[in-house]
């Protein structure tokens, strides 16, 4: 369960469902914005926090297709829609809604975490056609489909990158934890779901290295490849600064 999902629902059954608007998105992220500032702010948002808002659908998200994280837990959404051009989306939470089937996510190339728990999804047959292969964490707990025979085996057989299913680790995640060759590829993926905090004087590359060190405990195999990548990032950053200085 995601941290955003922990609070109990506050929806009033008698209240009419709301619609997603630019003003609602802007207010949910920064209520101090003036009306003329909202459009530019909304278009640039990376994290949309739209939980507990009594939303009846996902229609209206289109201007925010640069988002990497979308939180829509505890609403009244019945269908996953409106994500046609969300190619950067990594993290989608739709727990505690009214979904009865899975749709609208199979085309998302960057999606790593998908939480559809506590809905009414009855069937996830042919998971290759429902979910993207990029997923490393899928949560379908408290849906009728999770009680079907061979449910777990079917999903794990189709989605080979999964590391956690219904908040339980998969066998492949245990095996790859012991493999130094997988450390280099899994470390960047793991960091995508973390929210780094930059200390005074730290660069983005410093944060990247610190997160990987924490994730993999400084293992030689994993850190060697990552440090090479960090060195490349720093060199590219240095060259960019030099180029910008020469143009002044």
Strand partners, 168: 165
Report pTM.
0.68
208: left (phi over 0), alpha (psi -120 to 50) or beta: alpha
Assess contact for 115 and 92: CB atoms under 8 A. yes
b/e sequence 62-90, b meaning 16+ C-beta within 10 Å:
eebeebbbbbbbbbbbbbbebbeebeebb
Per-residue pLDDT of the chain (248 residues; tens, 9 = 90+): 555 555 555 566 668 999 999 889 998 987 677 777 777 888 899 999 999 999 999 999 999 999 999 999 999 999 999 999 999 999 999 999 999 999 999 999 999 999 999 999 999 999 999 999 999 999 999 999 999 999 999 999 999 999 999 999 998 665 555 544 444 444 445 444 444 455 555 554 455 455 544 543 444 444 444 445 555 555 666 666 666 666 65
The rounded Cα 142 to chain-centroid distance in angstroms is: 20
Return d(Cα 123, Cα 140) in angstroms, integer.
11
Return d(Cα 193, Cα 96) in angstroms, integer.
21
The token pair at 228 is 């090479």
Residue with tokens 């009306």: 35
Assess contact for 120 and 99: CB atoms under 8 A. yes
Return d(Cα 193, Cα 107) in angstroms, integer.
20
Alpha-carbon distances of 132 from 55, 71, 100, 135, rounded to whole Å: 25, 19, 19, 6
Return d(Cα 190, Cα 180) in angstroms, integer.
15
* CA-closest candidate to residue 114, choices 101, 127, 129, 132: 132
The token pair at 224 is 């060697």
Strand partners, 49: 71
């Amino acid at each position: 369960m995601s941290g955003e999902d922990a609070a109990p629902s506050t929806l009033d059954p008698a209240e009419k469902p709301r619609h997603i608007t630019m003003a609602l998105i802007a207010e949910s992220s920064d209520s101090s914005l003036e009306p003329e500032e909202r459009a530019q702010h909304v278009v640039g948002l990376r994290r949309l926090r739209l939980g507990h808002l009594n939303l009846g659908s996902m229609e209206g998200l289109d201007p925010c297709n640069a988002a990497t994280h979308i939180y829509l837990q505890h609403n009244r959404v019945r269908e996953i829609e409106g994500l046609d051009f969300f190619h950067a989306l990594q993290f989608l939470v739709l727990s505690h809604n009214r979904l009865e089937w899975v749709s609208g996510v199979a085309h998302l190339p960057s999606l790593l975490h998908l939480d559809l728990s506590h809905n009414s999804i009855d069937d996830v047959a042919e998971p290759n056609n429902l979910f993207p292969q990029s997923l490393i964490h899928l949560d379908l707990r408290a849906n009728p489909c999770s009680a079907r025979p061979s449910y777990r085996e079917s999903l794990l057989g189709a989605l080979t990158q999964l590391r956690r299913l219904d908040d339980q680790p998969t066998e492949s995640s245990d095996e790859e934890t012991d493999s130094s060759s997988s450390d280099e590829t899994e470390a960047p993926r793991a960091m995508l779901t973390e929210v780094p905090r930059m200390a005074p004087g730290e660069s983005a590359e410093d944060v990247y290295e610190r997160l990987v060190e924490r994730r993999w405990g400084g293992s030689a195999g994993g850190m060697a490849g990552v440090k090479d990548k960090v060195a490349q990032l720093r060199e590219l950053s240095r060259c960019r600064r030099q180029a910008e200085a020469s143009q002044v």
